[in-house]
Structure 1
């Protein structure tokens, strides 16, 4: 694939072969690692600073149980959502790599500015801009994988990507907590900036996955045509709703877990370790997904995972209610450890199912799916953050509600009479 693209862009076979040696083939492990690193840029900007919430509350004069600092997450997610509407369509016209470099530049500048902001309001603004920059590697990774693969191979690749980038939430909180012992919390914000700068250099080995003849105009009429193609597709719209609900569960987990561990269970010092262990279950689920999607098929795997998620979410809600919102820590963590692998099976496969029918407008599709799911999930998560009442009830009830909507939608979309066959590589 990489060699073919290089020939098309260079105009001659010799030039294409020379460039192919400088690029990572789309069939290589390096390509998967690059895509995982792109996806991880957003996660790194979030998970590394989670242990710093207590320091941030103290620095900005907030109450120890204040949830106001969660706006640094919400603002980032909203920027992440808005930015994808720009990078996706623009990448359909100018190629994936130029827009990737543009987003990384915004990421570096806004991340540096965030580290210098003296007020929470200024930090929130910078975090929104930071999210705008992070939108490029996140959405373009999805588009580049769709350029290279289709159907169940795309789903398997996305599962492998998730299995790699989940290493960020495994290690980032612990590393952040260790770093806070020797540096102020603002210094943590510069770590993702350094990572993005490194990615920009490494991305020179990335092949351009969108050949010139498949690029689309950015004229308003052409953009509207592409947008209509995305919004009118039943499969894409349905699985976008699924991804939105799943992302709502993830943002609720990320935004609430630190204060739940600290306030409900009084184990704030154990937060990085518990969070890291739970994140490892995400990676295990993603690796399992990469194997199962080939063996049992994408649609059947989605149905099985939806049933599993709904059952575990229901048990979590029952536990929360039966214990008066204060269950034993071990039981709460055990159910979360069972829930998250189901999430890591559903997320990449639902994304793949949403993207499958639209290889001709992959950038626009990735933008719309990413924008709606990120913005919707962030808003759902912010509602759950605001509902925190000193117990795990709001979080647990939100999880089962979001899981019910996601699972119900999957059941409707994968009924034998309505089931769709994943599209292949364009």
Structure 2
């Protein structure tokens, strides 16, 4: 059951990286064919991320009120339609608007996948499952630019969005057939606007939630700055072809997957909080390395290793910070997931355009944003100092309660943890 669930939820979580990374090799072509510049093309990326953030703020509370399935299927339909419209956009500003709509629709898959995981897991168990989920969704940033580069060999940039539309339809069919409801009616919350705002306020004023969420947001923004700037830095400044760029991008994404699975292994001996701190330190040091390489105008061989570590460190930061941020918000999982995603993609969406400011013939603007965001992630964690706490109240145990999220015959029992009882030997409490 876990493998099938991870495959499906991982596919839903992949909407963001697929929709972002697949068209990166086409940035120069989009600028040429639509008669625009680098900054305007990067706005299409910003629009998608802001839409992804705003959509999560909508779909999260809706999934708490009406269950996970109905909002998810609606979002998948909207995503497929918006992707097809992007393929026929006549101007860059039309493409910006459609990318925003595509991001809003894609948010349903991202936020509901995370909320569904929280319906089933918490504490270190959730961090481990999120690491397994990222093994699936981590294939997206590896394969997406490679697929995009191959599509460009037989089609224009429009063909990339047609492929994304097919992906949306495939997941729509899979979710409709295989994914059963993970939020029983008795655990749903009324769709009252005032109640939704109160819930948002309660989550947003949780200091611990804010500490972990801002850490994810800033480190993710460093990666988004890399995503926005690397097509021009690596292809135009360092002379890589779209195919060569796609392989470099895929290698960095592979590092993200490797670190994600390393994190899953290390959770046997270390707490999520300790691993999160280590990931934030690594991200900050790597960001400084990218900036140093850019300022000194070093060859590409000196720029790629710290850039690799900036991306890979997210494989440690993301699952641990997500599990810790949502640990105490099981009854508000959709709203908490939405707020977490809102902060993550809003900061990323605001950071990405900064890469286009300054000298377009230099890697310094991209490197400066990467260094600033990765450093801010560590600083926010250190300043807010999230309090230590016990793992969440519930953990996945074994079979009993009739609960079948992927339509199998297996069932799951959610059992309360007795005070003072350690269910995860060898791990400290968080």
Superposition TM-score, scaled by structure 1 size: 0.88
* Structure 2 spans left out of the alignment, 5+ residues: 396-430
> Which residue of the partner structure matches residue 394 of structure 2?
425
Q: 1:246-285 alignment to 2 at 5 Å?
A: 246-269=219-242, 270-285=244-259
Is 1:227 aligned to 2:200, yes or no?
Answer: yes
> Which residue of the partner structure matches residue 35 of structure 1?
9
Q: 1:28-177 alignment to 2 at 5 Å?
A: 28-62=2-36, 66-177=38-149
CA shift at 1:142, angstroms? 0.8
> Which residue of the partner structure matches residue 368 of structure 1?
339
Distance 1:413 1:86 in 2: 27
Conserved? CA contact 2:272–2:321, under 8 Å? no
Distance 1:424 1:160 in 2: 22
User: Which among 216, 226, 234 is matched to residue 243 of structure 1?
Assistant: 216
Distance 2:241 2:357 in 1: 20
Distance 1:246 1:137 in 2: 22
Distance 2:366 2:57 in 1: 30
Distance 1:385 1:357 in 2: 39
Distance 1:123 1:381 in 2: 17
Query: Secondary structure at the residue paired with 1:108?
Result: helix
> Which residue of the partner structure matches residue 209 of structure 1?
182
Superposition TM-score, scaled by structure 2 size: 0.88
CA shift at 1:413, angstroms? 5.1
Query: Secondary structure at the residue paired with 1:210?
Result: coil
> Which residue of the partner structure matches residue 329 of structure 1?
300
Distance 1:221 1:121 in 2: 35
Is 1:394 aligned to 2:369, yes or no?
Answer: no
Distance 2:127 2:47 in 1: 30
Distance 1:414 1:291 in 2: 25
Conserved? CA contact 1:320–1:392, under 8 Å? yes
Deviations 1:278-304 (A, max 9, x none): 111111111111111232111111122
CA shift at 1:119, angstroms? 1.2
CA shift at 1:314, angstroms? 2.2
Query: Secondary structure at the residue paired with 1:100?
Result: helix
> Which residue of the partner structure matches residue 310 of structure 1?
284
Distance 2:385 2:277 in 1: 7
Conserved? CA contact 1:413–1:419, under 8 Å? no
What RMSD, in angstroms, separates the aligned Cα atoms of the two structures? Answer: 1.6
Query: Secondary structure at the residue paired with 1:180?
Result: helix
CA shift at 1:348, angstroms? 2.0
Distance 1:388 1:235 in 2: 39
Distance 1:68 1:206 in 2: 39
Distance 2:286 2:343 in 1: 26
User: How many residue pairs are counted as aligned between the two chains?
Assistant: 393
Is 1:381 aligned to 2:352, yes or no?
Answer: yes
Q: 1:185-200 alignment to 2 at 5 Å?
A: 185-200=157-172
Query: Secondary structure at the residue paired with 2:267?
Result: helix
Is 1:338 aligned to 2:312, yes or no?
Answer: no
CA shift at 1:71, angstroms? 1.3
Query: Secondary structure at the residue paired with 2:356?
Result: helix
> Which residue of the partner structure matches residue 10 of structure 1?
none
Distance 2:194 2:96 in 1: 35
Query: Which one has the bigger helix percentage?
Result: 1
Query: Secondary structure at the residue paired with 2:392?
Result: coil
Query: Secondary structure at the residue paired with 1:208?
Result: coil
Distance 2:389 2:356 in 1: 36
Deviations 1:81-109 (A, max 9, x none): 11111110011010001110010011011
Conserved? CA contact 2:126–2:323, under 8 Å? yes
Q: 1:407-422 alignment to 2 at 5 Å?
A: 407-412=378-383, 418-422=387-391
Is 1:356 aligned to 2:327, yes or no?
Answer: yes
CA shift at 1:76, angstroms? 0.7
Conserved? CA contact 1:414–1:420, under 8 Å? no
Distance 2:390 2:383 in 1: 15
